[in-house]
A and B are shown apart, each in its own frame.
Chain A
C-alpha cells in the first residue's frame, strides 16, 4: 500500500525550542492513521507542521511531492484540509458562507454545488441553519460545520485535530460514524489526532504513539489496541 503522506525526520516547534524531535510516520492512500498521546506530546504541533502553519525541518511528502517548504495556502490548494483545534469556524459569518469559503480555491461551480448537497446530506442540521451565524451553533454543530468546510475543499487528505473535544458522547459517536463514511465511501485519507484513544483506534488502521515529541510506538491500530503494556502505560483504559 502506498502512502499519501510520508513524514520523515520532522522537527518543529515554536521559537527556539523544538517540540517535535524527528518524527517518522505515514498515512496510507485512502486510509486512516491516528496520532495518540498525552497533552503536550506534540500532536497539534505535528498537524500544524504538516499544513505549514509552522515552518518544520525534515521531509514531508504529499502524494510524492515535497510540501515542507510550501505556504499553508499552497498546501491547502494541493488538497490537504485541516480541521484545527478549536474548529476554526468563522464565527461571524453564516453557515453557508463558511462552506463557500471551504470551496474558495475551487473553480468548478457545478462540483461545488454538488458538494453543498453532499454535506447537507451528511449533516442535515447545517441545511436548516444555513443562514445562521456560525457562532450561534452548538459545539457539535460547529464541529460538523468544520468538517463540512474541510470537505468542501475536495481534499485528498483530512487532518483532524481532536474532533471529540468538548462534545457529548452521543455527538462524538455520530461524528466518528460520519468520518468513517467519508473515508470508506469517498476514499479521503484521514490523519486523526485524538485524546480519546479507544475511538481513534477503532477508526484508524495505522497508529502512532507520541511522547514528548517522539514516536515511541508505531504499528497497526489493532496491534496497539491489543498491547496491554501500551494500553496501561499510555492509553489509560
Chain B
C-alpha cells in the first residue's frame, strides 16, 4: 500500500511536467487547431537558454524569468517567420514544417551546446517531504504546475487580451469584425506556448539532465495527457497530464516495467484517439472519416 501511494504521488509529480507540456500544446491547438510537433524541442532550446544564463552567473529566478520572457518572444518570432507562410496550406505541409522546425532546433542545440549531457539546477532545496514520499523538487514542480494553470486561467478569464484570444480561436471572422487582430492572437498563442514549454523544460531538466533529446519522451506523454484530457481544454489537459503521469508510474511498477515507457504512451495515444477522440473533457476534435 505504501509503495502504491509512493508510486501515485511521484506519478503526480512527473505528471505535473506532462501537464505543463500539455498546456503548451493546448495553447497552440486552441489558436490554430494544430498540434505542434516541435513543442518539445522548443522547450529543450529554452532550457539551454536558461542554462546559459545561469552559467553566466545570473541567479536562478532571474534566469527563469529571463528565459520565460525570451521564449515568449522567440515563440512569436517562430509563428511570424516560419508558421505564418503555411497558414492556409494543407495539413501535410504544416506537419512537414513542424518536423523541419523540430529537426533544426535539435541540431542547432547540438551544434552550440554539444550532445553531452549537462546538469541543471533545481530551484527547490534537496531532501524529501511527506515522510519521504516526495522530493522537494517534485513538490515544487506540482506547485509550479498549479501556478501556471492559475495564471493562465486568470489571464484568459479576466483580461481583455485573453478574451480576444479565445474569441479569435473560436470565430476568426467575427473577431476581425470587432477589430481583433487575429493574426497577432495566433502569434501570442505561440508565444504563450513557448513560454509555458520553457517552464516545463526547466522543471524536467534537473530530473532527466539537459541534452538535446531530453524532451522526446516527455513530449509524447504531454501529447497523451493533452489528448486524454481534451486538447482544446486547458484544465482538462492538466488533469490528463497528471493522470498520464500516474498511469505511467503504475504501469511501470506493476505491469510492463520502465523499459517500455514510450510504448505505454503510444498505446495511450492511439487508444484515446480511436476510442474517445475528444478526450475526457474536450469538445469533439476529430472529424471522423
Contact = CB atoms under 8 A, between A and B. Distances in A.
Contacts of B167: 90, 93, 97, 101
B179 A73 contact: yes
Nearest to A159: B177
B166 interface: yes
A101 B178 contact: yes
A76 B170 contact: no
Given A104-B160, A104-B164, A88 B170 contact: no
A59 B164 CA distance: 31
B173 A101 contact: no
A153 B174 contact: no
Contact of B179 (A53, A76, A91, A97): A76
Interface residues of A, number: 24
A102 interface: yes
Contacts of A82: 177
A164 interface: no
Contact of A72 (B163, B166, B170, B176): B176
Interface in A83-121: 84, 88-93, 97, 100-102, 104-105
Nearest to A51: B177
A84 B178 contact: no
Contacts of A149: 178
Interface of A: 51, 53, 71-73, 76-77, 81-82, 84, 88-93, 97, 100-102, 104-105, 149, 153
A134 to B, nearest CB: 10
A104 B160 CA distance: 7
Contacts of A93: 163, 166-167, 170
Contacts of A91: 170-171
Given A88-B171, A90-B170, A90-B171, A73 B163 contact: no
Given A53-B173, A88-B177, A97-B163, 15 more contacts: A51-B177, A71-B176, A73-B176, A73-B182, A84-B174, A88-B174, A89-B174, A90-B170, A91-B171, A93-B163, A101-B163, A101-B164, A101-B180, A104-B160, A153-B178
30 contacts: A53-B173, A53-B176, A53-B177, A72-B176, A72-B177, A73-B176, A73-B181, A73-B182, A76-B176, A76-B177, A76-B178, A76-B179, A77-B179, A81-B177, A82-B177, A88-B173, A88-B174, A90-B170, A91-B171, A92-B166, A93-B170, A97-B163, A100-B160, A100-B163, A101-B164, A102-B178, A104-B160, A104-B180, A105-B179, A149-B178
A105 B177 CA distance: 11
B175 interface: yes
Interface residues of B, number: 17
A153 B179 contact: yes
Smallest CB-CB A-B distances: 9 pairs:
A88-B174, A105-B179, A76-B179, A72-B176, A77-B179, A82-B177, A73-B181, A104-B178, A101-B178
Chain A residues touching B, majority SS: loop
A201 to B, nearest CB: 26
A101 B176 CA distance: 11
Contact of A90 (B174, B176, B179, B181): B174
A89 B174 CA distance: 7
A27 B195 CA distance: 48
A149 B180 CA distance: 14
Interface in B136-167: 160, 163-164, 166-167
B159 to A, nearest CB: 11
A84 B179 contact: no
Contacts of A72: 176-177
A27 B224 CA distance: 55
A51 B178 CA distance: 11
A93 B169 CA distance: 12
A171 B57 CA distance: 69
Contacts of B181: 73
A84 B171 CA distance: 12
A100 B171 CA distance: 15
Nearest to A97: B163
A102 B179 CA distance: 8
A97 B173 CA distance: 17
Nearest to B283: A92
A84 B177 contact: yes
Contacts of A53: 173, 176-177
Contacts of B180: 73, 101, 104
